[in-house]
Structure 1
Amino acid sequence: MAQQVKAVVAHAVGEPVRIETITVPDPGPGEAVVKVQACGVCHTDLHYREGGINDEFPFLLGHEAAGIVESVGEGVTDVAPGDFVILNWRAVCGQCRACRRGRPWYCFDTHNAKQRMTLADGTELTPALGIGAFAEKTLVAAGQCTKVDPSASPAAAGLLGCGVMAGIGAAINTGNVGRGDSVAVIGCGGVGDAAIAGARLAGAERIIAVDIDDEKLRTAIRIGATHSVNSRKEDAVERIRELTGGFGADVVIEAVGRPETYEQAFYARDLAGTVVLVGVPTPEMKLELPLLDVFGRGGSLKSSWYGDCLPSRDFPMLIDLYRQGRLDLDAFVTETIALDEVEQAFTRMHEGRVLRSVVQF
């Protein structure tokens, strides 16, 4: 039987979000209903509200979530009612050319639930990243549910569903950071700090945090950076080179998504080094680099989409590291809030006052 639950809905560009009663249908074939326990407030949700993703209003916001599977539809075998899961927005198809080549983290045909959740009047909702987890319960494709150890804190575990996984994966999966490497991370918000945590996990010897905010740099040091650079006060490229014997970092991770910071990343890397773009640019942004420099410096220029993660592989592993005390996911949870505090959380996030606000049910 369909259920009515409370949820956060964005109705128009720039309008404050509202708490609405929505209808969650019973799961159909390949689908699952999840009782949400916690959901992080991510900048992508604000992008949705501001019309920066598309114009398919009304949006059911929220996507960095963990919870308990309540029911599953026909044909679902990987998860069952009662399982503690992290939600992801990359339910791989298993059939596309990437999946068939053994690279499912690049799946070109990921999918979401076929049914739509609705407002009380029947208006269909567009769930953020196919999840919509600022809600007491949500409907997703079963492949969007990754079973993990239930002893993990839902508030911490849910963050792997987006920003923290994006940062850790940018370092480990995309950047291939290895033992003894030098790494610079430009932009120390939630994703950048997660990249720092990922570099530390991978055994990087020197991890340089770059930002224009001293408080963010202090947080980056607590997360695992060995050095910090305030690029408002000094030349970031020159300082990174000074800290790496004059050469530049082996891997530079750009977690801002702006042309000027990407250019810093490009010139702050060592010859044959790697640049990883994980910050999300806006459509109008353009990048201009001398082609001779691109050729002459060698190395790799990569983009990292969702940390090139495979949830079924990466989420359980990272939760195990969290339980062992080797990955401090709790450090990313600045505050826990109620469902009706999401709008205020957007303001604090925009002002850079939090790593993550987490809605806790």
Structure 2
Amino acid sequence: MSTGTHEIPARMQAVVVHGPEDYRLEEVDVPKPDAGELLMQVEAVGVCASDLKCYHGAAKFWGDENRPAWAQTGVTPGHEFVGRIVGGDDAGLARHGVRLGDRVACEQIVPCEECRYCLRGQYWMCGPHDMFGFRNFNGAMAQYMLVPTRARVHRVSPDLEPQHAAFAEPLSCALHAVERATISFDDVVVVAGCGPIGLGLIAGARAKNPRLLIALDLDDDKLELGRRTGADLTINISREDAVARVKELTDGYGADVYLEGSGAVPAVAQGLNLLRKLGTFVEYSVFGSDVTVDWSIISDDKELDVRGAHLGPHCWPAAIKMLEDGKLPISDICTHQVPLAEFQKALDLVGDTSGASVKVSILPNA
């Protein structure tokens, strides 16, 4: 295995899943890459709302009722990450188009390349659906991790701060959701939530240049961040009726597009009610509980297009370019960084409903 000039230790620190609300920092062996695999020294890993729901055993996993609602026992969590390649053979480096020392980010999913979805080019809906930090592949809450042969790897500028570079993952997800919305220039677009995904939705929708882009949230500071990310108008739904306000702005018709990125159960009915007839609803959230709505709104009342969005297929290059070009107020989005030893603090910050954090990251080698 080639390692260049980087000295790789024999042991490292890693978070290991033992069950819901039982994540432990342990000393483990640094993994050794097999033929075609690469070794990454992790620089930053973002903590996602889905990580938190998984930690509490409340996540809904990709329509598979046979899977538990938490990460696989023995796996290291963390799927939003960036790091430097410090080991691997020539075949692995050539396959991924990288060199030792390159900074890279990997897509969340490790596609099987054999199921009907992968064979049709729809790799993000891979049947087995192995993902870093959830199932069969260790994630990045560790000092080092393996990049398997089937991983989808993207190079990232070394000039970005590590926590900013790791934001490519949620941003790519948001851009995919925006693409699912097929936004037109004359559209009124509403984004629910100004958290990490919601801000990415705003940035992506802004790039589509709709006539009016509206952001919704309960927190004034996050709404201000939404405005700085590209929203034309913000509405604090704790003080104002968003449905009535949007209809007032649209001659009583309603919005053309609603992008749901909050993961809050009430946001679903809110979106259905503030959309116009023949409008488009795009859902991008991992809910912690079941959502019930009046389906007659979707059908007989409005004939809505309701679309899901999952992961960030084909959007990673655009997301990385947006970050490298400084298109987002990323320093104010990435609010908290903690060392690996304080991983529990990172989870608690994400779960803090006071709005103290926006994007929380762990820096495993800081």
Q: Structure 2 length as normaliser, TM-score?
A: 0.83
Q: Does residue 230 of structure 1 match 2:231?
A: no
User: Match of 1:170, as an amino acid?
Assistant: A
| Inter-partner Cα distance in structure 2 for 1:178 and 1:96 | 34
What are the residue-to-residue correspondences of 1:243-262 with 2, within 5 Å?
243-262=249-268
Among residues 305, 312, 337, which one is paired with 2:310 in the alignment? Answer: 305
The answer on 1:78 being equivalent to 2:78 is no
Distance verdict in 2 for CA 1:4–1:48, change over 3 Å: farther
Residue of 130, 133, 144 corresponding to 1:137? 144
* Local SS of the residue matching 1:285: coil
In structure 2, the residue matched to 1:316 is: 317
Residues paired across the two proteins, number: 340
After TM superposition, the runs of 4+ consecutive aligned structure 1 residues lying more than 6 A away are: none
Q: Give the deviation of 1:236 after TM superposition.
A: 1.6
**Which residue does the alignment assign to 1:285?**
290
Does residue 57 (structure 1) correspond to residue 73 (structure 2)? The answer is yes
**How far off its partner does 1:97 sit?**
2.6
1:333-348, aligned counterparts within 5 Å? 333-348=334-349
1-side partners of 2:316 and 2:310: how far apart? 16
- Once residues 274 and 138 of structure 2 are traced to their aligned partners in structure 1, the CA distance between those partners, rounded to angstroms, is 37
Distance in 2 between the 1:178 and 1:67 partners?
A: 37
Higher mean Cα deviation, 318-327 or 204-213?
Answer: 318-327
Equivalent-residue separation in structure 1 for 2:298 and 2:315 (angstroms): 35
Change (3 A) 1:74 1:44: farther
CA distance in 2, matches of 1:30, 1:334: 36
Structure 1: which 5+ runs fail to align? 114-126
Q: Which of the numbers 144, 156, 171 marks the counterpart of 1:164? A: 171
Give unpaired runs (5+ residues) of structure 2: 2-8, 59-68
Q: Does the C-alpha gap of structure 1 residues 73 and 268 become closer, same or farther in structure 2, counting only changes over 3 Å?
A: farther
Cα distance change on mapping 1:73 and 1:90 into 2, 3 Å: farther
Label 1:178 to 1:292 Cα distance change in 2 as closer, same or farther (>3 A): closer
2:155 aligned with 1:147, yes or no?
A: yes
Over 3 Å counting, the alpha-carbon distance change for 1:174 and 1:58 in structure 2 is same
**Contact 2:40–2:84 (Cα < 8 Å) also in 1:** yes
Q: Deviations over 1:154-207 (max 9, x none)?
A: 21111222x332223212x22222334221111222111111111112212311
Contact 2:172 2:318 in 1 (8 A): no
Give the corresponding residue for 1:8.
Answer: 15
| Matched AA of 2:255 | A
Structure 2: distance between partners of 1:90 and 1:178 = 30
Amino acid at match of 2:342: E
Alignment check: 8 A CA contact 2:44 2:362 kept? yes
Quote the offset at 1:31 in angstroms.
Answer: 2.7
Aligned-pair Cα RMSD in Å: 2.6
The 1:212/1:21 distance shift into structure 2, 3 A limit, reads same
| Within-5 A mapping of 1:72-221 | 72=88, 75-76=91-92, 77-80=95-98, 81-111=100-130, 127-128=133-134, 130-142=137-149, 143-161=151-169, 163-171=170-178, 173-221=179-227
TM superposition shift of 1:41: 1.9
8 Å contact 2:16–2:77 — kept in the other structure? yes
On the 8 A contact 2:272/2:297 being kept in 1, the answer is: no
* Distance of aligned partners of 1:290 and 1:37 in 2 relative to their CA distance in 1, 3 Å threshold: closer
